[in-house]
Amino acid sequence: MTRLYERVALIGLGLIASSMAHGMRGRGLAGEIVGTARSPETRAIAAGDGLVDRVTETAAEAVQGADLVVLAAPVGVMGSIAEEIAPHLARGATVTDVGSVKRAVVTDVGPHIPDGVTFIPGHPLAGTEHSGPRSGFAELFENRWCLLLPDENTDPAALARLRQLWEALGSNVDLMDPDHHDLVLAVTSHTPHLIAYTMVGVADDLRRVTDSEVIKYSAAGFRDFTRIAASDPVMWRDVFLTNKDATLEILGRFTEELFALQRAIRTGDGAQLEAYFARTRAIRRGIIEAGQDTEAPDFGRGSVKR
């Protein structure tokens, strides 16, 4: 494939950045890939594994001469990284990010971006429950949506090139505005994660049901929640702190509905329960038809052998 950028700087080397590194390298999309991370341990692993071409100690060093800078750190530190790298950004560079919340990133990062540099917020809707520099793989973005959030001043050529990068990594690209993004993701990601964390926490806390029982008998539904609740705690802390309004709005809707179903259980209203449970199948069908999940029973994982 065509080389799209001469030097890409990855700020943060977790699941998303390491997957981008593998993907860009395998497809020859970048001349040089430079990476940095706040933790010395992560930097040492990345250097030892040869995850990127060059590991730097600071973000300021990493971005020097880069024509693409990818902020791939928790949303809560994006602003301070932007402040640190701003004086070192090359004229004509594009800065993007991969954070799960977008309004906060626009607010925190935007003001630091110097003239002559284009900032295009982004969010690849891809991930697994694993994290860290060794969790990445080149195929992570294949057939997944990546949202880009340009504004009316965004340089069209810079946007087209970034779009090409994500498409070359296998993604489908859509454009969206930050507030709508944050609401959509509150529905498709943030609230489900909070609920999963809560359910796993409840199970872990109960005195009358042991952890060993929860673990042995988890195949009845609970284990799916534990996968989601195994995601990176710091990343998720920042998601909820920075997408507060939309998450609280969707949580409010969720508890309202849950209370209605709880009342139906208490009063024995079988018709209401059955009607509610019947209508949710259509959306599953839509997801499978859109190629966003497998039709195979139980995600195709079958029986798990030791």
Q: In this complex, which beta carbon is closest to a copy of itself, that of residue 167 or of residue 274?
A: 274
For residue 188, the 8-state DSSP code is I
Q: Give the containing element (helix H, strand E) for 261.
A: helix 244-267
Q: Which of these, 15, 67, 10, 14, lies nearest to 35 by C-alpha position? A: 10
Q: What are phi and psi of 198, to 5 degrees?
A: -65, -45
Give least dist CB 163 to a copy of itself, A.
17
β pairing state of 68-71 and 122-124: unpaired
Give least dist CB 216 to a copy of itself, A.
6
Give least dist CB 18 to a copy of itself, A.
12
CB atoms within 10 A of CB 237: 13
Give least dist CB 249 to a copy of itself, A.
9
Q: In this complex, which beta carbon is closest to a copy of itself, that of residue 120 or of residue 147?
A: 147
Q: In this complex, which beta carbon is closest to a copy of itself, that of residue 67 or of residue 232?
A: 232
Q: In this complex, which beta carbon is closest to a copy of itself, that of residue 90 or of residue 187?
A: 187
Q: Which residues contact 192 (CB under 8 A, 6 or more apart)?
A: 228
Longest dimension (CA), the chain: 67
CA-CA distance, 151 to 236, in Å (whole number)?
Answer: 26
Strand order from edge to edge, sheet including 118-120: 54-55, 30-36, 5-11, 68-71, 94-97, 118-120
Q: In this complex, which beta carbon is closest to a copy of itself, that of residue 92 or of residue 233?
A: 233
Q: In this complex, which beta carbon is closest to a copy of itself, that of residue 6 or of residue 213?
A: 213
Q: In this complex, which beta carbon is closest to a copy of itself, that of residue 156 or of residue 268?
A: 268
Give least dist CB 197 to a copy of itself, A.
6
Q: Which residues contact 31 (CB under 8 A, 6 or more apart)?
A: 3, 5, 6, 7
CA-CA distance, 8 to 38, in Å (whole number)?
Answer: 18
Give least dist CB 93 to a copy of itself, A.
28
Give least dist CB 282 to a copy of itself, A.
8
CB atoms within 10 A of CB 29: 21
